[in-house]
């Protein structure tokens, strides 16, 4: 028998068993030991998954993660004129929509990960590439969950403005904080085209969009000698991270 087909561990017995993950030959005894090591690592990932579930449950129990944002919106509404009330209501709805959408996306990814771990445990068909990929997915879910649990995925921004069309001055936008994520941006309450420079930025490792504020509408503000205090506007911004998942492949040894 060729020496290349000897057991890679003991080097004495015939390497009758081949692992498609590490592409190495083993004898019967050493192959069982090798499989045991892989299954132990899978058990460790299951523990990590359980920790992630506890964090996810804690985040899901927070039914109104953006309550403080809504309070600021209400305060802004009380201190400004009547025509901004409709725009404030649109902002509230968008806050809830983004918060729920992000949480539901993480839950969906978590359920897919949990099902995959269960299948690997049932079939014992795990290989090294599966472990590496699953570790990365659990780590990414932990990172994605942090801003949702802390309400930092949604940002309330108030800028100063004067007499303009208010419906064009408040809307919600999303931006990506992870490389490769697609950037999605919502449109304002009425038909409105933002300056091209704010939308068409080159896609680098960090993508973002810029908030359209009153400084782009200076031509609409009447120039007077007696300047009145500028009124505040409220803009809700949110961060969204979408992670592309790879299709798992299983090799049963």
Portion of the chain with pLDDT greater than 90, in percent: 19
Whole-number pLDDT of residue 38: 94
Q: Is 185 left (phi over 0), alpha (psi -120 to 50) or beta?
A: beta
Structure tokens at 5: 């087909």
Low-confidence ranges of the chain (pLDDT < 70): 1-4, 63-65, 76, 80-85, 149-153, 156-253
Whole-number pLDDT of residue 100: 79
The pLDDT tens digits for 94-121 are 777 777 788 888 889 889 989 988 888 8
Domain ranges of the chain: 36-216+230-239
Q: Quick one: 83 exposed, middle or buried, by C-beta within 10 A (0-12, 13-18, 19+)?
A: exposed
Q: Please give the backbone phi and psi of residue 126, each rounded to the nearest 5 degrees, phi first.
A: -80, 140
Structure tokens at 70: 């809504």
Whole-number pLDDT of residue 244: 40
Q: What whole-number distance in Å separates Cα of residue 27 and Cα of residue 16?
A: 6
Q: What whole-number distance in Å separates Cα of residue 88 and Cα of residue 93?
A: 9
The pLDDT tens digits for 173-191 are 555 655 444 434 444 433 3
Give the closest residue to 79 by CA, choosing from 173, 158, 171.
Answer: 158
Give the closest residue to 126 by CA, choosing from 41, 50, 24, 244.
Answer: 41
Give the closest residue to 174 by CA, choosing from 145, 207, 200, 219.
Answer: 207
């Amino acid at each position: 028998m060729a020496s290349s087909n000897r057991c890679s561990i003991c080097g004495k017995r015939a390497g009758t068993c081949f692992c498609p993950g590490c592409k190495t030959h083993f004898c019967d005894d050493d192959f069982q030991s090798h499989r045991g090591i892989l299954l132990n690592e899978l058990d460790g990932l299951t523990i990590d998954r359980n920790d992630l579930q506890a964090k996810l449950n804690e985040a899901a129990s927070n039914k109104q993660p953006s309550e403080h944002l809504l309070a600021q919106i209400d305060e802004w509404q009380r201190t400004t004129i009547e025509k901004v009330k409709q725009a404030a209501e649109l902002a509230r709805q968008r806050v809830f929509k983004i918060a729920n959408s992000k949480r539901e996306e993480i839950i969906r990814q978590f359920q897919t990960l949990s099902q995959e771990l269960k299948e690997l445990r049932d079939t014992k068909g795990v290989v090294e590439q599966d472990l590496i990929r699953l570790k990365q997915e659990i780590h990414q879910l932990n990172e994605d969950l942090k801003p949702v649990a802390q309400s930092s995925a949604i940002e309330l921004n108030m800028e100063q403005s004067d007499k303009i069309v208010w419906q064009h001055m408040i809307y919600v936008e999303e931006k990506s904080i992870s490389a490769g994520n697609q950037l999605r941006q919502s449109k304002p309450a009425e038909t409105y085209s933002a300056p091209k420079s704010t939308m068409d930025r080159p896609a680098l490792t960090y993508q973002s969009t810029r908030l359209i504020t009153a400084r782009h509408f200076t031509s609409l503000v009447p120039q007077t000698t007696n300047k009145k205090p500028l009124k505040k506007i409220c803009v809700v911004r949110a961060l969204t991270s979408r992670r592309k998942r790879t299709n798992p492949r299983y090799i049963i040894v």
